Amino acid sequence: MVLFIWLLFFDSNNLISQVQLRYEIWKLDQKATYYKEELLRIKEQRAELLKGPESLEKFARETYKMKRDNEDLYLIIQE
């Protein structure tokens, strides 16, 4: 019984530290999943941009609000 209590609370691999380590592993797995999904999204976006100059121009217009010299750009901001 004493050995069990020692291992449960006082040992360097006690129950509390094991739970904390499991939680840390879970958080890191969540981050890894997020970054893998984000990487796939970026690769798809890159492939879409490399299809042709029209798609690249569309991306620049939508993302960076770029325009041609003979055009006017009006931004509508909703509050």
11-66 pLDDT, tens digit per residue, is: 777 888 889 999 999 999 999 999 999 999 999 999 988 898 888 888 888 888 88
Asked if residue 4 is part of any domain, the answer here is: no
In sequence order, what are the residues at sequence separation of 6 or more whose Cβ sits closer than 8 angstroms to the Cβ of residue 8? 14, 15
Output the pLDDT for position 58. 85
Which residue range is the domain that position 35 belongs to?
17-79
In a domain, 69, yes or no: yes
Question: Is residue 27 one of the residues assigned to a domain?
Answer: yes
Structural domain count of the chain: 1
Question: In the prediction, which pLDDT does 37 show?
Answer: 98
The pLDDT, as a whole number, for residue 71 is 83
